Chain A
């Protein structure tokens, strides 16, 4: 009779007859990517149906509801939307929503809330041990969770933008066909933005003690501030590179926006993509290293 617990797989490798059995067999550790995919599979469902998803739903439902309201208003008033007496087309309104709602608010917020929580939540719930005791590389846990974050946010943000596009762009004489290339660019830009912010805040979450506070300060303090000043400091922000990928005109809705417009240095698309790719790669590598090396002490 086997002394194995029922249901447990027989992990001992079967050796050919005549092979001397050693007392200590090194366990075969699966590689990073298959392990990360297993963690991804596990985490995607957890992320989607967590309490945080309610917040995410509200965040992304807002622009859709706003678009529905604007569409109704537009259909009731034949003269269309007006800003300072001038009629505004649907494409311009959509561009404004992309700037003000998605780039400046939703993407950084999702990055902060989800990115910082990738490892921090497991630590807080004291469940990190279950993952770390699995025979998988520790950094695979982080990578799997990061991909789950990316899939979860992309699958929610992109449909939301798509709905907003089809509701808003046809108003005020806008043409869906003419605006479609900019939509495709916007969707790509949002995916890159979510990836970059997620990687940066995943690093923050694995390295620092109060990642959420630090993340919020970075996203809504540091980033807008450095963009306001001339010089090289803005190159230490994600927004600087991300904003270069936006095809719409930056709205001038406030004094800060006017200042941003004045000091708006735009790197080329290639430079921005390379920089954002670099940010994602470096941040994930550093975060993976931190997870590998750091000892997480669970408070009792």
Chain B
């Protein structure tokens, strides 16, 4: 029997040498004249084990990792094609506790199938959601998504079904489905993983969305920092067209759905939905006033569904298994699963898909194994650069939109960045303001100017110039940003700043360092350095 060797083609796996491993595998197969082939799957999301190589056996897939290209001949010598023991042997992949303890719904296929094999996709439950959707009225599809309790996974947590209903009920000749794949928050990579590891699930989700609201055209707006995902999407879309899953007659239904990926150009703000639409239209990515909502007047002035990658990639399983199956996972108003992304200074960083309700502590210690450096954990930032810094004492917060909001934090897209005790929260607060200054679209004065003033005020606080007065001034500035900004960038940047002051006041109360010792970044003088 021909053996199958799986070597991930995911960008993160490639970033630590998976390409060289795959090449070495192919060389060994040829050199030893073996009946075996290499499949480039997505990542299982256990990044400390990447490159994670798997071999198919009658007992299931057996994992070895992390594998380097130099170790490949030794693996063959040890008989890894027959799942023989080796120093890197990890046993049955599905039995690895990190994976076994998860509830993988959206990521059910990621890391298992060949991402560009449509037959693999269909063989593992793909396109069953679309099949069922084709038997339902548009209203019934929207009802199903609404009843599932699915909320926007991009960060805002707005109920997906409600958005769809608005677009469905707005009459227009042309409507659009836009996928927000501008995953700019530090600590997040779930969108990238699914686009590289199971792109057809996103295509299927967008197609279902199109049929639900009466849209025949879709765009995926992908950040330019993800060139690998862009190529993968282009290939997957070409295959879907070729096999009749996109185009004028989707799956023989007589219905049309066209899909095109578009690349952003390095602007964080384009993750905000109205900026994204401006950018897709070929303009500066400046945010729009709301109302009108994009659901009523969106892309090119037409009713538009704008959803995050994970939201859309979750639609197929909801349609396939039913709203109740999905909503039975989760807690309170946060239904279904959350794709937690463990990042930063963490021992076992990776993707954990789990029903809402796990606590931060469980995610960081039971899955993540604590800090990578082995030093004590000091701060955690969830929700990206606009999310609050939480101290150790808040680690029992459940991963749930409302629980985070109650503690003046934000769950966002589910990224969790861990810092050890070497972190300086005054520095992090300054960085938040600096980031806001670099990425502000410039529309609202508090965000455009206030962020630069924020950097200056924090510098004065750290240098112990009128510290009490300047802390008060920073508080006022944050209030102006919150109240005077149209979108989440200016509106939420006070979250990391104020949480740093609230939970880590000692970092703002140190003796002033000598001027030469404090060197925040060498970029103070200008913002045009990027």
**Are A and B genuine complex partners?**
no
Q: Interface on B for A, CB 8 Å cutoff? A: none
